[in-house]
Amino acid sequence: MSGLRLAYYGDDFSGSADVMEVLAQAGVPTRLYLDPPAEVEPGLGAVGVAGVSRSLPTDELDGVLRPVFGRLKALGPRLVHYKVCSTFDSSPAVGSIGRAIDIGAEVVGGPCVPLVVGAPALGRYVAFGNLFARSGQDSPVYRLDRHPTMSRHPVTPMHEADLRLVLSEQTDRPVEWVDGAVLDSGRTPSVSAGVATPALTLGVRPEGTPIVLFDTAGEHHLAPVGRAVWDVANQSGPVFAAGSSGLEYALAAHWREAGALPPPPAFAAGPAERIVVVSGSCSPVTARQIERATANGFAPVAVPPGGWMGDRPDGVGDVLAETFAHLDAGRSVIVHAALGPDDPRAAVVRRAGVTDTGPRLGRYLGAVLDEVLARGVRRVCVAGGDTSGFVARELGVTAFEFVAPIAPGSPLCRMHAPGRPADGAEVCFKGGQVGKIDFMQLVRDGRKQM
């Protein structure tokens, strides 16, 4: 199989790198850009655009997504994928996945919109249309509305686990459901006509192509889901699809089963002497990872909220002075804006009524990393999906390539930033819920999570 199989837009940076990791490790050469490329580089099987739509007001999505989807479609892929966070966090007012699907279906077309959210490798499962997720990869599995982090997300708290009901608040498009029992039966569900078998449609069915949600309760569901999606793409492409990197896991499982993939290449990274982590995450998972790293020799540097809540970064100098002192002493550093949702600094931000935390904090942390990279640090980590995209923009990054796996969903990547300190340096973007407790040490050591 040759040519461009897939083009995708990620609604945050950490998730965009996640898709690149899945495809690259499957033997599909992939490049991740900040803006859609004008043409496909020779040899690529997939291209992605790392975006920030997850944190945007819904009324801004049309102006951002419509031109991007049009440019991705023009590259000629079989599938155009709107990649969302595997915890599906969105709302009618912020980062509406339903509205993004409406835009993509209008621009790209197709007889239906396949929706694959469960990604078992990441601890995400969809059963009977409901989403379940771990809180970090060493935690129990929670129903989404009882998840200790996502049910308390500061911007888009998730109070419903049934993805059909979540979408019914964000789009009038019908939502149909492919039951795991159909996948277990060995019969490939037919979705090419836009109707899943069996299907459940919530509400009054309006005109328009339906969303087809697939159960993905385990690894055994991936290949049949991938086969169903690829069949409709081959028959009716280009087709617009949505979901987490579970879609790419499913496609790769099908392609591998069909003998349409080369042997997977070997990827590895060695240790770095020192790294710098910047964290805008309020997740308790990230907080535990920071605490473990600190206990193992990383130097913590706390960012006061007053330094970044303004329109322009302020107070970077004090943080840099402390950071450089630790680096000169040979220590890795973690610059953090919060240690979990109950950090008093998070309460200060809430009381101040600051809602656009992603761009403000991202610019601040990006300014810190720009100076760190200029001092010769060549491996860094960014924790927090909502801030990562703004950090990358601040660093002048134009594209990323996969270097090596660290934890599922957060690979080590190489940055392309012509003329800037970040050019050629390695970065790991980490979503709040990703990774086990020793994640920061793994990034420093260049080791894959076991």
Q: What is the mean pLDDT of the chain?
A: 90
Q: What is the pLDDT of residue 206?
A: 45
Contact (CB, 8 A) for 103 and 112: no
Q: What is the pLDDT of residue 346?
A: 87
Distances (CA, A) of 77 to 4, 44, 107: 5, 11, 14
Place of tokens 């998070």: 346
Report the distance separating Cα 356 and Cα 343, nearest Å: 18
- Catalogue all structural domains in the chain, each as residue range(s) with its CATH number: 6-257 (3.40.50.10840), 276-445 (3.40.980.20)
Other CB atoms within a 10 A radius of the CB of residue 237 amount to 17
**pLDDT confidence tier of residue 333, bands split at 50, 70 and 90:** very high
Contact (CB, 8 A) for 131 and 62: no
Closest CA to 125 of 230, 48, 225: 225
Report the distance separating Cα 9 and Cα 92, nearest Å: 20
Model-level pTM? 0.83
First and final C-alpha spacing in the chain: 32
Q: What is the pLDDT of residue 351?
A: 86
- Whether the per-residue pLDDT at 342 is higher than 80: the answer is yes
- Whether the per-residue pLDDT at 339 is higher than 90: the answer is yes
Report the distance separating Cα 129 and Cα 179, nearest Å: 8
**pLDDT confidence tier of residue 347, bands split at 50, 70 and 90:** confident
Other CB atoms within a 10 A radius of the CB of residue 3 amount to 10
Phi then psi for 127, rounded to 5 degrees? Answer: -135, 130
CA 354 to chain centre: 23
Q: What is the pLDDT of residue 1?
A: 42
Q: Which residue has the higher pLDDT, 310 or 372?
A: 372
- Whether the per-residue pLDDT at 102 is higher than 50: the answer is yes
Q: What is the pLDDT of residue 196?
A: 45
Closest CA to 133 of 81, 85, 83, 182: 85
Of 57-61, 203-207, 267-271, 376-380, the least confident: 203-207
pLDDT in tens, 173-214: 999 999 998 888 876 666 644 444 433 333 333 457 899 999
Q: What is the pLDDT of residue 191?
A: 61
Contact (CB, 8 A) for 369 and 387: no
Average pLDDT on 384-401 reads: 89
Question: Half-sphere exposure of residue 105, counting CA atoms within 13 Å on the CB side?
Answer: 23
Of 71-80, 95-104, 124-133, 189-198, the least confident: 189-198
Q: Which residue has the higher pLDDT, 51 or 379?
A: 379
Place of tokens 């697939």: 214
Q: Which residue has the higher pLDDT, 31 or 237?
A: 31
- Whether the per-residue pLDDT at 58 is higher than 70: the answer is yes
- Whether the per-residue pLDDT at 289 is higher than 50: the answer is yes
Q: What is the pLDDT of residue 113?
A: 95
Q: What is the pLDDT of residue 203?
A: 35
- Whether the per-residue pLDDT at 65 is higher than 90: the answer is yes
Closest CA to 243 of 5, 3, 4, 9: 9
Report the distance separating Cα 450 and Cα 448, nearest Å: 6
Secondary structure of residue 370 in the 3-state scheme: helix
pLDDT in tens, 134-184: 986 678 999 999 998 888 877 788 899 999 999 999 999 999 999 998 888
Contact (CB, 8 A) for 436 and 407: yes
Return the beta strands (E) in 182-238 as ranges: 211-214
Percent of the chain with pLDDT over 90: 69
Q: Which residue has the higher pLDDT, 359 or 241?
A: 241
Q: Which residue has the higher pLDDT, 95 or 149?
A: 95
